[in-house]
Amino acid sequence: MATSSTKKWWKNAIIYQIYPRSFCDSNGDGIGDIPGIISKLPYLKDLGIDAIWLSPVYSSPGYDNGYDISDYKNINPEFGTMEDMDRLISRAKRLGIKIVMDLVINHTSDEHEWFQKALAGDPKYRDYYYFRDGNGRKYPNNWGSFFGGRAWSKTENGDYYLHLFSDKQPDLNWHNPDVYEEMTSVMQFWLDKGIAGFRCDVINVIFKDNLEDGKQHLALTGREHYLNTDGCHDLIRRFNDDVWSKYKTFIVGEAVCINPDNAKLLTDEDRKELDTVFFFEHMDVDSRIVKWFKKKYHPSKFIRIIDKWQNTLEVPANYFENHDQIRSVNHFGNTEKYWEKSAKLLCGLNLSLRGVPFIYEGEEIGMTNGDFRGLRDIKDVESFNINQSMKRLLLTHSVRRKLILRTSRDNARTPVQWNSSEGAGFTTGEPWLKINDNKSFINVEDESKDENSILNFYKSMIEFRKGSQAIQEGTYRRVASPGDVYIFTRESDEERLYIYCNLTSMNKVVEFYGDRIIFGNYGEDERLDFMLKPYEFRIVVSNI
């Protein structure tokens, strides 16, 4: 077993994701920024997290809120300056908080100097991207984009360039060794500044085997030519060997459309690729192929998926929401009758599973989906493009409105609710995205004062996890139970914990094991001995 000095710091870490645009605005322009983040470091310290995953703050025209980078070694002026960033890194360090940055290397912004030079005809930079002519056909191949529509757009010269995401995000050509040199230099630049690792955006699509036509697929025609290719594994191994292994990094890959076999290959310790991956299967539990078409959510299916991934990965990256998903309390909880109980249950579950838990900004106060008045309130490029695709399918405005409002990524991007004032303590100006009206009671200030709040439940659960060897390092085993109640054990040499999660809004009779309840979201006077109440979470200890 590893000693404390050789043990990897991230194995017991709790990581908090910040989406800078929506976190805290320091200068009243309605856009969250780095000085805003610095001002909230004491709050994060008090919450008890160990590291921040910072969504992109690099220079960017902002068509995909920073996931379209125009200069990897500079800061977007909307978010601040390089001095602000250096200050964030050093202040966080003083508080013992590490910073993991987002690394977006599948594509750049079309406003990146490289792409601009490529458009101007510079052969060196043309080979940084994929330019092809239509060969007399309409498009170079039949691939689709993640954001709807085709993966190719025409340049003014009449040729096409590849973009798996929006047309403002041209894909890099990872067959070109210069691209490798450029990007490893970017990684080094930030690691030398003292950041602790990377969350690698769509890492398993970066290497395209070839540009041949793909099999028809409802959303992602062409994907067999770029998902989890051998070339991608090779590249990641080289990143690890040449750069990451020289620092004490934590590397989590966002792995789209990933299955357990591929995830194992990406994270197997001996292969020296990634430390862990974000998987999506639990997020898609209620989707029909694409997220816009929903089906009924079945907790039993959700549980089976989580259980499967607990048994798949050496260190799973656990999360129930992020900046691309709807709010977890809307997704897997019940915002009407059991908002508080279900938010606490999701907290309990996330923080008692095996692996590294991620908390997304606002999740710790139970923030809900955006209360948008119509499509005009939505700013996300993905929603915009999907709306265009749906128009082509002749869907009516009211259908498009319904489908998009309930699934848009903007649901998780509404500003963090710090207090109940008009700007929610997020801004003194006009917020870039509508603030939820429920800031009147869902906000940090009020929840800090209420000892039974969701926020204080998070704090206690984080503290509980930190003090529990069984949860931090113990084994995991699912215990037989009714399909929509999740019961599992976490066990160390000293103790066995039974974790009970009722993922429904009904009472559930279950078999109880263990000796003593040591944690839960129902008080002693509300709890029943023979069943779990709606969204009840309990930890029972049994001494061994």
- Catalytic positions, written as ranges: 201, 254
Q: How many residues bind ligand ISL (CB under 6 A)?
A: 14
341-370 residues near Ca ion, rule: CB under 5 A: none
3-state secondary structure of 532: strand
Q: Which of 13, 14, 18, 31 binds Ca ion (CB under 5 A)?
A: 31
Kindly state whether residue 358 participates in binding ligand ISL, applying the rule CB under 6 A: no
Residues 6+ apart with CB under 8 A from 94: none
| Listed ranges 18-26, 378-386, 408-416, 491-499: which one lies at the site for Ca ion (CB under 5 A) | 18-26
Q: Report how far Cα 284 is from the mean position of its chain's Cα atoms.
A: 14
Amino acid, res. 175: H
Counting beta carbons within 10 angstroms of the beta carbon of residue 192, is it exposed (0 to 12), middle (13 to 18) or buried (19 or more)? exposed
Question: From the list Ca ion, ligand ISL, none, which binds 33 (C-beta under 5 to 8 Å, kind-based)?
Answer: Ca ion
Q: Give the span between the Cα atoms of 279 and 298, in whole angstroms.
A: 19
Instruction: Give the residue with the Cβ less far from ligand ISL, 67 or 129.
Output: 67
DSSP 442-458: SSHHHHHH-TTSHHHHH
**Least distance in angstroms from the C-beta of 165 to ligand ISL:** 4
Question: From the list Ca ion, ligand ISL, none, which binds 67 (C-beta under 5 to 8 Å, kind-based)?
Answer: ligand ISL
Cβ atoms of 540 and 517 closer than 8 Å? yes
Instruction: Give the residue with the Cβ less far from Ca ion, 426 or 458.
Output: 426
Computed from CA positions of residues 285, 371, 461, 506, in that sequence, does the dihedral angle turn out positive or negative? negative
Q: Which of 16, 115, 146, 358 binds ligand ISL (CB under 6 A)?
A: 146
Question: From the list Ca ion, ligand ISL, none, which binds 409 (C-beta under 5 to 8 Å, kind-based)?
Answer: ligand ISL
Q: Give the span between the Cα atoms of 425 and 37, in whole angstroms.
A: 13
Kindly state whether residue 332 participates in binding ligand ISL, applying the rule CB under 6 A: no
Kindly state whether residue 29 participates in binding Ca ion, applying the rule CB under 5 A: yes
369-408 residues near ligand ISL, rule: CB under 6 A: 382
Q: Give the span between the Cα atoms of 420 and 47, in whole angstroms.
A: 20
Question: From the list ligand ISL, Ca ion, none, which binds 400 (C-beta under 5 to 8 Å, kind-based)?
Answer: none
Instruction: Give the residue with the Cβ less far from ligand ISL, 403 or 444.
Output: 403
Q: How far is CA 332 from CA 321, 338, 344, 506, in A?
A: 10, 11, 12, 14
Instruction: Give the residue with the Cβ less far from ligand ISL, 204 or 453.
Output: 204
**Least distance in angstroms from the C-beta of 478 to Ca ion:** 46
> What's the angle, vertex CA 138, arms to CA 132 and CA 140, rounded to 5?
30
Kindly state whether residue 201 participates in binding ligand ISL, applying the rule CB under 6 A: yes
Q: Give the span between the Cα atoms of 54 and 99, in whole angstroms.
A: 7
Kindly state whether residue 165 participates in binding ligand ISL, applying the rule CB under 6 A: yes
Kindly state whether residue 104 participates in binding ligand ISL, applying the rule CB under 6 A: yes
Smallest CA-to-CA distance from 200 within 161, 167, 243 is with 243
Question: From the list Ca ion, ligand ISL, none, which binds 29 (C-beta under 5 to 8 Å, kind-based)?
Answer: Ca ion
Kindly state whether residue 540 participates in binding Ca ion, applying the rule CB under 5 A: no
Cβ atoms of 488 and 480 closer than 8 Å? no
| Two structure tokens written together for 24 | 């805290």
Residue owning tokens 């919450």? 47
Kindly state whether residue 446 participates in binding Ca ion, applying the rule CB under 5 A: no
β-strand pairing of 98-103 with 197-200? parallel
| Listed ranges 28-36, 82-90, 292-300, 368-376: which one lies at the site for Ca ion (CB under 5 A) | 28-36
251-280 residues near ligand ISL, rule: CB under 6 A: 254, 256
Instruction: Give the residue with the Cβ less far from ligand ISL, 104 or 435.
Output: 104
**Least distance in angstroms from the C-beta of 76 to Ca ion:** 11
Instruction: Give the residue with the Cβ less far from ligand ISL, 64 or 275.
Output: 64
Q: Give the span between the Cα atoms of 346 and 320, in whole angstroms.
A: 8
Kindly state whether residue 202 participates in binding ligand ISL, applying the rule CB under 6 A: yes
Cβ atoms of 88 and 99 closer than 8 Å? yes
| Two structure tokens written together for 95 | 């508080």
**Least distance in angstroms from the C-beta of 226 to Ca ion:** 37
Q: Give the span between the Cα atoms of 201 and 219, in whole angstroms.
A: 19
**Least distance in angstroms from the C-beta of 288 to ligand ISL:** 14
> What's the angle, vertex CA 309, arms to CA 307 and CA 311, rounded to 5?
75
Q: Which long-range contacts (CB under 8 A, 24 or more apart) does 131-139 make?
A: 131/155, 131/159, 131/160, 131/161, 132/159, 132/160, 132/161, 132/162, 132/211, 133/158, 133/159, 133/160, 134/159, 134/160
Kindly state whether residue 167 participates in binding Ca ion, applying the rule CB under 5 A: no
Q: How many residues bind Ca ion (CB under 5 A)?
A: 5
Kindly state whether residue 324 participates in binding ligand ISL, applying the rule CB under 6 A: yes
**Least distance in angstroms from the C-beta of 409 to ligand ISL:** 6
Kindly state whether residue 25 participates in binding Ca ion, applying the rule CB under 5 A: yes
Q: Give the span between the Cα atoms of 329 and 347, in whole angstroms.
A: 10
Kindly state whether residue 491 participates in binding ligand ISL, applying the rule CB under 6 A: no
| Two structure tokens written together for 477 | 């085993």
Smallest CA-to-CA distance from 340 within 376, 375, 365 is with 365
Kindly state whether residue 162 participates in binding ligand ISL, applying the rule CB under 6 A: no
Q: Which of 64, 171, 281, 410 binds ligand ISL (CB under 6 A)?
A: 64
Question: From the list ligand ISL, Ca ion, none, which binds 165 (C-beta under 5 to 8 Å, kind-based)?
Answer: ligand ISL
Kindly state whether residue 412 participates in binding ligand ISL, applying the rule CB under 6 A: no
| Listed ranges 22-30, 143-151, 186-194, 323-331: which one lies at the site for Ca ion (CB under 5 A) | 22-30
Residues of the shown chain interacting with Ca ion in the complex, contacts defined by CB under 5 A: 25, 27, 29, 31, 33
Residues of the shown chain interacting with ligand ISL in the complex, contacts defined by CB under 6 A: 64, 67, 104, 146, 165, 201-202, 254, 256, 291, 323-324, 382, 409
